[in-house]
Amino acid sequence: MGFRAVQIGLGVLVVAAALVGVKTMVFGAERKEPIPAPALDEQHVAAKHETAVFAGGCFWGVQTVFQRVKGVTATTAGYSGGTAESANYSAVLSETTQHAEAVKIVFDPAKISYGTLLRIFFSVVHDPTQLNRQGPDVGTSYRSAIFFTTPEQQKIAAAYIAQLDAAKTFGKPLVTQLVPLKVFYDGEDYHQDYAEKNPNNPYIQVCDVPKTAALKAQFPELFVDYKKK
């Protein structure tokens, strides 16, 4: 989330770095239309709730986008994909645990499909061609990753990545990891709803507000105003 420098008193440089990196960070905001929908998607899901876990850079921005998607019933910022048996912000920030900042998304598959969530993830949440970074945020904790929770999710995500690469949708190969979800650790309370609690934060204004604007522009039929439950 570009704020390591804040911890050593270089907040101004962080904002500058965000401004330099904004063109790639808010990739989706530069597109007038969303990327093509997945050719393979879920069909006739009986469950009332399903869980998806995505990592796409700073979890503040990933969460604030999916909070505004119709059919999403809950989101949690946290950590996944690491080798350590626990995770907290300071440990993950050190880049020694191999965890990625991630967001757990609970959704109603009768209202929105897993494939549509993937389409949003690739269209407006992040740039899936950046390896171990998003804009000014650098490190494996900011990597692009899909943590699938079922074999069907794995199949859909793998097919979609192959589809986008074959069509050269992004001009460069996707670097998104596709791995099974082993464990998800909830992030600290102050990270939850961070963008909503800190709307005037320069990082939020530069890096995350354009993402929600892109969601509204590209997926108007799926956009809802977020109201914390």
Residue 4 DSSP code: T
The token duo for 174 is: 């996707």
* Cβ within 8 Å of residue 58, ≥6 positions away: 1, 2, 101, 134, 137, 142, 207, 208
Q: Is 207 a catalytic residue?
A: no
For residue 56, give the nearest of 181, 145, 158, 179 by alpha carbon. 145
Nearest partner of 209 among 198, 221, 224, 220, judged by Cα: 198
Which long-range CB contacts under 8 A does 29-34 form with residues at least 24 apart?
29/124, 29/210, 29/211, 29/213, 29/214, 31/123, 31/124, 31/214, 31/218, 32/217, 32/218, 33/218, 34/119, 34/120, 34/123, 34/124, 34/218, 34/219
Active-site residue, from 25, 58, 120, 174: 58
DSSP code string of 90-138: HHHHTT-S--EEEEEEEE-TTTS-HHHHHHHIIIII--TTSTTEETTEE
Known catalytic residues?
Answer: 58
